[in-house]
Amino acid sequence: QQQVRQSPQSLTVWEGETAILNCSYEDSTFDYFPWYHQFPGESPALLIAIRPVSNKKEDGRFTIFFNKREKKFSLHIADSQPGDSATYFCAASKGGNQGKLIFGQGTKLSIKP
């Protein structure tokens, strides 16, 4: 079965530090890699996404780094804020399965003030 693996399961960083969340995948035909975040008691929502034509995507404090050769991608959250505390899910999909996302297991991120 296609898999997307995510680590760590939980992560605690101090306010102002950079949080790094990691994902890896197996299927080399995946061509779309989003990150979703989910705040306690709420539903998941798209945060940022990347396609393999690029190896980096930035949106404010959030950056995806993509390594096609190693089949890995990561989310960096710079200058972490307590309001960033949430569960983050990476995912992957491919054009032939339009819209079908395979999600990672999630990383629970806590930011200490």
Partner 1 sequence: EAAVTQSPRNKVTVTGGNVTLSCRQTNSHNYMYWYRQDTGHGLRLIHYSYGAGNLQIGDVPDGYKATRTTQEDFFLLLELASPSQTSLYFCASSDPDGAEQFFGPGTRLTVL
| Contacting positions for partner 1 (CB under 8 A) | 1, 6, 9, 32, 34, 42-46, 49, 89, 93, 98-106
How many Å apart are CA 92 and CA 50, to the nearest integer? 10
Which structure tokens are listed for 5? 């693996």
d(CA 92, CA 76): 17
Shortest distance (Å) from residue 39 CB to partner 1: 12
The residue (of 63 and 107) whose beta carbon lies closer to partner 1 is 107
Report, in Å, the least distance between residue 4 CB and partner 1.
8
CB of residue 16 to partner 1, shortest distance in Å: 28
Closer by beta carbon to partner 1, 32 or else 65: 32
* Minimum separation from the CB atom of position 6 to partner 1 (A): 7
Which residues, 6 or more positions from 32, have their beta carbon under 8 angstroms from its beta carbon? 49, 50, 51, 92, 93, 94, 95
**Residue closer to partner 1, measured from CB, 16 or 95:** 95
19 or 104: CB nearest partner 1? 104
